[in-house]
Structure 1
Amino acid sequence: MINENATLLEEIYQATKMGLEATQLIIPKVQNPRLRTEIEDQALRYQDMGAKAKRMLHADGRMPGAEKTMQKAMLRGSIRINTMVDQTPSHIAKLMMNGTAAGIKGVTKNLDRLDGADTEVKKLAEDYIINEQKNIDELKKHL
């Protein structure tokens, strides 16, 4: 059960790290004040949820895994290329929605296969998924 807890918490932690990285990279490119505020709020939620996952890992005597530098580099390159020509609110919203959907997919996959994880850990995963779905709903308004 502890391994399942750690696996699910690690997935949440890594997803929030990637989400935070994406928001920090894209915020300087956002000209629309409403969209910028929504993405800044999203970044704060990533920080909060990532900190919770990290605390829960520490409580189990574990440390979060190393940063995935290749994924981070690919994210940076993708954002740089995808915003070089098109920085419209709809394009930025689509980029953010794609990343958000990837986070949902990873956490959902692990939540579904790790039945033995503690209720508290599952709840954090479910909260992450609900929060990400709300982010997508907000971003859709910019399409």
Structure 2
Amino acid sequence: MNSQEVAVYREIQRNTEMAMKAIDTISDKVYDERLALQISRQSVKYSELHNEASKQLIAAKAESYRGNHLADIMLKTGIHYNTLLNTSTEHIAELMIKGSNNGILEMSKVLKHNAEAGEKPVALAKQLIDFEEKSIGVLKDYL
């Protein structure tokens, strides 16, 4: 496994880990049962993608992504701040859409900067991007 493939897998790990932590933080503030179910499904899919990236890195004996405690605190603080006065279904969906858009942007940048990555990591990254795009489409129904 080359360094560009490792970079793509690590970004998949980082991206999905951040998404799962965001969902975990925001789920207590969701009062719409359909939206709660939707974001739970998203969390499961993020977990599957994260596990696949981890499995590939472990098989190649490459170092996995290690989360940053400060980034976790900033993520959770940002979510709590953005939901302090508004926990409406529409607002929660909007926050989730913004997070997914950011995830797509970051994953796309990593793919562009690692053009020599092999077929397998690129396919998994594109699977993540496709999933986030579909999730955005579903979340738009809650706006």
Q: Is 1:91 equivalent to 2:109 in the alignment?
A: no
Amino acid in structure 1 at the alignment position of 2:111: L
Instruction: Name the structure 1 match of 2:134.
Output: 134
Determine helix, strand or coil for the equivalent of 1:132: helix
Contact 1:2 1:60 in 2 (8 A): no
Shift of residue 24 of structure 1? 0.6
Kindly report which structure 2 residues correspond to 1:38-57, keeping only aligned pairs within 5 A, or say none: 38-57=38-57
Kindly report which structure 2 residues correspond to 1:30-41, keeping only aligned pairs within 5 A, or say none: 30-41=30-41
More off after superposition, 56-65 vs 132-141: 56-65
Q: Distance in 1 between matches of 2:53 and 2:66?
A: 14
Amino acid in structure 1 at the alignment position of 2:44: L
Write the deviation string for residues 52-96 of structure 1: whole angstroms up to 9, x where unpaired: 010011111112122122221111001111111111011001111
Amino acid in structure 2 at the alignment position of 1:54: S
Shift of residue 41 of structure 1? 0.4
Q: Distance in 1 between matches of 2:47 and 2:14?
A: 11
Shift of residue 141 of structure 1? 0.5
Q: Distance in 2 between matches of 1:120 and 1:5?
A: 9
TM-score by length of 1: 0.96
Amino acid in structure 2 at the alignment position of 1:97: I
Q: Is 1:16 equivalent to 2:20 in the alignment?
A: no
Write the deviation string for residues 15-52 of structure 1: whole angstroms up to 9, x where unpaired: 00000000011111100011111000000011110000
Q: Distance in 2 between matches of 1:24 and 1:7?
A: 25
Q: Distance in 2 between matches of 1:24 and 1:136?
A: 18
What is the number of equivalent residue pairs in this alignment? Answer: 143
> What runs of 5+ residues in structure 1 fail to find an aligned partner?
none
Shift of residue 115 of structure 1? 1.5
Runs (4 or more) in structure 1 with deviation over 4 Å come to: none
Contact 1:32 1:89 in 2 (8 A): yes
Contact 1:2 1:117 in 2 (8 A): yes
Amino acid in structure 1 at the alignment position of 2:83: T
Determine helix, strand or coil for the equivalent of 1:65: coil
Instruction: Name the structure 2 match of 1:58.
Output: 58
Q: Distance in 1 between matches of 2:132 and 2:26?
A: 17
> What runs of 5+ residues in structure 2 fail to find an aligned partner?
none
